[in-house]
């Protein structure tokens, strides 16, 4: 796994350096347990606004997010296009940014899925047959973690294409594109996956 994510606000300087050098970056923050989904959105968007102000090296930042259904979202920062994807889990929110790639990110809380009895049927519907078979044959203590990886990768890939979660078919749109798909874990509880597609 080569994916690296930077926690905000504590690692903002490293995140800015990475974004300037690589032209893409993955950032995340922890949320207070009491925050509802709307508050989580506000929290990560405020951190994102502060991050982009630092990136632009100005407080006079004109920022807008184009977030139409079925279209990969983008940010316009002082007229410059930045591809963006945002995901939330129980106590964590994350953002992927790129200047050169369409991008998708997804975050899975393993604690939320470990009690579910529907994971294998879900895998058979939404993941490829090879992946579903591999999951079915995985050891019990590895199953939830492996499912989290594959589900996060699936969601990130579809989000990269501007698509909602859809059932897998032989003509699955994710296989028509050469995406870079990577994953990592945060605190052994969250699986974070990112998909990038050259524009």
* pLDDT (0 to 100) of residue 69: 65
User: What is the per-residue pLDDT across 43-100, written as a single tens digit (0 to 9) for each?
Assistant: 998 899 899 989 988 766 677 776 666 667 788 888 788 999 999 998 999 999 999 9
Report pLDDT digits (tens) over 120-135. 999 999 999 999 999 9
pTM for the model: 0.91
Cα separation of 169 and 94, whole Å?
29
For the beta carbon of residue 169, count every other beta carbon within 10 angstroms.
9
- Of the pLDDT bands very low, low, confident and very high (cuts 50, 70, 90), residue 34 is confident
Distance CA 1, CA 20 (A): 22
């Amino acid at each position: 796994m080569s994916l690296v994510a930077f926690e905000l606000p504590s690692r903002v300087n490293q995140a800015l350096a990475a974004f300037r050098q690589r032209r893409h970056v993955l950032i995340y923050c922890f949320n207070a347990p009491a925050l509802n989904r709307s508050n989580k959105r506000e929290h990560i968007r405020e951190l994102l606004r502060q991050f982009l102000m630092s990136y632009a090296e100005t407080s006079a930042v004109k920022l807008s997010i184009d977030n139409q259904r079925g279209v990969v979202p983008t940010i316009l920062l002082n007229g410059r296009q930045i591809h963006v994807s945002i995901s939330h889990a129980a106590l964590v929110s994350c953002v992927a940014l790129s200047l050169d790639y369409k991008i998708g990110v997804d975050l899975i809380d393993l604690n939320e899925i470990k009690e579910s009895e529907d994971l294998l049927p879900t895998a058979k519907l939404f993941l490829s047959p090879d992946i579903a078979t591999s999951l079915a044959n995985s050891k019990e203590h590895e199953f939830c973690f492996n499912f989290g990886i594959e589900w996060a990768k699936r969601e990130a890939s579809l989000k990269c294409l501007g698509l909602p979660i859809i059932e897998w078919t032989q003509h699955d749109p994710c296989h028509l594109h050469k995406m870079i798909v990577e994953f990592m874990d945060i605190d052994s509880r969250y699986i974070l996956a990112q998909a990038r597609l050259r524009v």
